Amino acid sequence: MISLSQPDYHPKMWHVACMAIPMILLAMLSNLFVLKKLPWIEGLLFLLHIFGFCFVIVVIWVMGPHEDAPTVFTQFSSITGWGDISMGIACLVALTPPTTVLTGADSACHVAEEVRNASWAVPRAMMATTVINSLMALMIVLTLVFNIGSVDSVLYPEHVLSYVSVFHTASQSVAATYVCVSLLAVLLCFCAINRATSASRQLYAFARDEGLPFSKWLSHVNPGSAVPRNSIMASSLLSTMIIPVVAGSRSAWQYISTTATSCVLLSYWIAVAVLIWRKLSGGRLPPSQYHTGRARSMIINMFAIAFLTIAVIFSFFPLNPDAGASDVNWNVVVVPTAILFCGLYYAFHGKRHYKAPVEKVKK
């Protein structure tokens, strides 16, 4: 938004880091003190989400440049070296950033203990949001590819962020661009609050099962309070500790975000693989209030495991096949190291102390 009024402004990474700190602080304070009001706020934001979607769609379709269908669906290009080898491989290597939108689908599971009749409400809420947002995302993607204008202006944006350039090119109006970007900024702020809620509950649940260092402190909940304050503050502190690294290097941020995405996708892969193994081995699953049918669920699980396998494998590929030390994808080193550390921690500590939730349920 600054670049709209000051075209010569080029933000440094430490500028971005300084803006991230208030976001983390907002997310932490919201979860600590206004948690009971969040459902009402989220309802209003859902309306803003729908309004913002319609506004952006109308602005880009009505005012933006248009491409014909043959150009959109038959012409491909790649600015990386993978396109010279295979355009299919180039697409798969570029799959990691879009998959980040899938990593929040399980957020509702982490607050299930705070939901009434969770076994009925949570899966339906997850499916409803997935279907609605998937359709909206498809419409946004089609809108962008048909009305994006010059691809070079997006790859090398005048206004720092690509989507800001898309809005400005379509509307040719600074005021309209301000409105579009402001809508996204507000929604992203509250996405940060939701992410903090999900992360802190997951941290709390794992600590309650004694699966983390300092589990006793992390799982502590003050008497009379339904909020895991320690877990909220710990997750916020961990996020803040990353900021100096981001401020020092743009590449570091890319490595951190890619590693996080790979780890989350890998955790999904493990969960789905175990579920498939349990079904194929004849094991019984706990009773559920949401059913898709054994055959349909198996097809869905097989498709999920295939997609996740591809996504995880290509998340380790560098963006350029001739990558040097400065732009190699260090994810291929970081993720195995993290897995090794977690394995050692489980072998020497967690194995004796960790109590899986299913054991508590049986007791």
Q: What pLDDT digit, counting tens, does each position of 126-154 carry?
A: 888 888 888 888 898 888 888 887 777 77
Of the segments 3-7, 38-42, 97-101, 332-336, which one has the largest average pLDDT value?
332-336
Q: Is residue 96 part of a domain?
A: no
Q: Is residue 305 part of a domain?
A: yes
**Please, which residues have CB within 8 angstroms of residue 291's CB and are 6 or more apart in sequence?**
none
Question: Out of 59-63, 71-75, 234-238, 323-327, which region has the weakest mean confidence (pLDDT)?
Answer: 323-327
Q: Is residue 83 part of a domain?
A: no
Q: Is residue 72 part of a domain?
A: no
Q: Are residues 202 and 256 in the same domain?
A: no
Q: Which domain holds residue 126?
A: 1-65+104-244
Domain count, the chain: 2
Q: What is the pLDDT of residues 262-299, one digit of tens each?
A: 888 898 899 899 989 988 887 777 777 888 877 888 89
Q: What is the pLDDT of residues 184-224, one digit of tens each?
A: 888 888 888 888 888 888 888 888 888 888 888 988 888 77
Q: Are residues 330 and 203 in the same domain?
A: no
Joined tokens for residue 47: 């309306």
Over residues 146-173, mean pLDDT: 77
Q: Are residues 313 and 191 in the same domain?
A: no
Q: Are residues 183 and 264 in the same domain?
A: no
Q: Are residues 120 and 191 in the same domain?
A: yes
If one counts every other C-beta atom within 10 angstroms of the C-beta of residue 254, the result is 17
Picking from 189, 180, 178, 187, the residue whose alpha carbon sits closest to that of residue 1 is 178
Q: Are residues 261 and 224 in the same domain?
A: no
With a cut of 70, say whether residue 347 has pLDDT above it: yes
Q: Are residues 280 and 334 in the same domain?
A: yes
203 alpha carbon, distance to own chain's centre: 17
Q: Are residues 279 and 324 in the same domain?
A: yes
Q: Is residue 240 part of a domain?
A: yes
Instruction: Return the residue matching tokens 């991230």.
Output: 20
Q: Please say which residue of 194, 224, 244 terminates a domain.
A: 244
With a cut of 70, say whether residue 10 has pLDDT above it: yes
With a cut of 70, say whether residue 159 has pLDDT above it: no
Q: Are residues 237 and 258 in the same domain?
A: no
Q: Is residue 82 part of a domain?
A: no
Q: Is residue 2 part of a domain?
A: yes
Q: Are residues 222 and 275 in the same domain?
A: no
Q: Please say which residue of 213, 244, 275 terminates a domain.
A: 244
Q: Is residue 196 part of a domain?
A: yes
Q: Please say which residue of 185, 213, 244 terminates a domain.
A: 244
Question: How many Å from the N-terminal Cα to the C-terminal Cα in the chain?
Answer: 55
Average pLDDT, the chain: 82
> With bands split at pLDDT 50, 70 and 90, how would you rate the model's confidence at 20?
confident
Q: What's the predicted TM-score (pTM) here?
A: 0.83
Q: Are residues 267 and 235 in the same domain?
A: no
Q: Are residues 238 and 274 in the same domain?
A: no
What pLDDT does residue 332 have?
85
The 3 state secondary structure assigned to the chain is CHHHHCCCCCCCHHHHHHHHHHHHHHHHHHHHHCHHHHHHHHHHHHHHHHHHHHHHHHHHHHHCCCCCHHHHHHCCCCCCCHHHHCHHHHHHHCCHHHHHHHCCCCHHHHCHHHCCCHHHHHHHHHHHHHHHHHHHHHHHHHHHHHHCCCHHHHHCCCCCCHHHHHHHHHHCCHHHHHHHHHHHHHHHHHHHHHHHHHHHHHHHHHHHCCCCCCHHHHCCCCCCCCCCHHHHHHHHHHHHHHHHHHHHCHHHHHHHHHHHHHHHHHHHHHHHHHHHHHHHCCCCCCCCCCCCCHHHHHHHHHHHHHHHHHHHHHCCCCCCCCCCCCCCCCHHHHHHHHHHHHHHHHHHHHHHHCCCHHHHHHC
With a cut of 90, say whether residue 241 has pLDDT above it: no
